[in-house]
Amino acid sequence: MSFPLYAPAEEHDMLREAVRALADEKIAPRAAEIDETGEFSWDVYKALVASDLHAVHVPEQYGGAGADALATVIVIEEVARACASSSLIPAVNKLGTVPLLLSASQDLKMRYLRPVARGDAMFSYALSEPEAGSDAAAMKTRAVADGDVYVLNGTKMWITNAGVSEYYTVMAVTDPSAGARGISAFVVEKSDEGVSFGPKERKLGIKGSPTRQVIFDNVRIPADRMIGEPGTGFKTALATLDHTRITIAAQALGIAQGALDYAIGYVKERRQFGRPVADFQGVQFMIADMGMKLEAARQLTYHAAAKSERAMNGEPQPDLTYLSSAAKCAASDAAMEITTDAVQLLGGYGYTSDFPVERMMRDAKITQIYEGTNQIQRMVMARQLLK
């Protein structure tokens, strides 16, 4: 008999309780204001740092909490239940640092993971460009060798937490004749001369997490800041996404759970025709479908997280690419459906910003788009099944 890889241990349940308590006390009361002002929530960041929840995935040898992939999913999920923008703090710290964990030298890991673990710096990930989104290998950003440095020129787009993060994993073309095998990865610091940022994008949701262009104008990067060997950057980028698509699934789960919880509370209290709305069968069917979709997506995400953890520990997981794409796609599609239904259950109230479900619906949409659109995820899954 085989047993599931992903069953949460008692420590995971205790972690969930602790994160939920923090989120309910410190984050949820700020969520509407964060959405309205569109400002990065430094107070939430400090609260996460104080509880060592801002980058829980960083291994203990670099000063981190050393949380496994499932624990990281639970942290992101519970923060997202309160505020999707805030959940991008632990999620993007993981996205930016996984390339180092997978491919960087020990010196580079020690130099850059320790400040992240301490809460002194955040780490963003710069892959997409204005003309290279789903087709990331078509990037134009160049890194040209000049002695013991590389000179970086180009523009990255849709970079989450750009401007607030101190460090950036940047993919750039070092050998234009080699296609995807000519792309290398570098650590770029916000303070490097020639680094600048475009204006904040005006977005539908996740407004408290800045999304901006990162612009490189003759930025000189020491050669020892290359992550891995020359030409391995794109391989590292794809391997990274196998792990971090699962964190987007976690964000989607949290948003959906927040919407479902609020909708359940509302329909039990709201009365029409002399009865609680929850007494009507049509409403009950909606609630049942919402809960079913959410739990199915959660189990798939936790299973993928267990596979991710084994892969990070050096155990081959040939189905990780498929499972991470499936988890991200299933959870984000479920989140969009569940938040839309939550708005419907609240009726006219759901359509107003006085209630949180319209924010959750707007926030859920991006989970179907970033880290690979769900159309791309279906292509990835199909190729894995057909190969």
Q: What is the DSSP string of 102-152?
A: HH--HHHHHHHHHHHHHTS--EEEE--BTTBSS-GGG---EEEEETTEEEE
Let me know how long the chain is: 387
- Bridging pattern class, strands 142-146 and 183-189: unpaired
Distance CA 128, CA 162 (A): 13
Which of 77, 78, 309, 371 is the catalytic position?
A: 371
For residues 304 and 83, give the distance between their C-alpha atoms in angstroms, rounded to a whole number: 23
The DSSP bridge partners found for residue 188 are 168
Place of tokens 């060798």: 145
> What is the token pair recorded at 177?
């004749």
- Quote the DSSP letter at residue 387: -
What's the CA gap between 333 and 327, in Å, rounded? 10
State how far the Cα of 229 lies from the Cα of 184, in Å rounded to an integer: 7
The reply to whether 371 belongs to the active site is yes
Spatial separation of the C-alpha atoms in residues 26 and 7, rounded to whole Å: 29
Q: Report which secondary-structure segment, H or E, holds 42.
A: helix 42-50
Residue 43 vs residues 15, 27, 122: alpha-carbon distances, Å = 21, 9, 15
Angle subtended by helix axes 320-346 and 357-366, to nearest 10:
150
Q: Which residues of 311-342 are buried (b: 16+ CB within 10 A; e: fewer)?
A: bbeeeebeebbbbbbbbbbbbbbbbbbbbbbb
Query: Which residues are known catalytic residues?
Result: 371
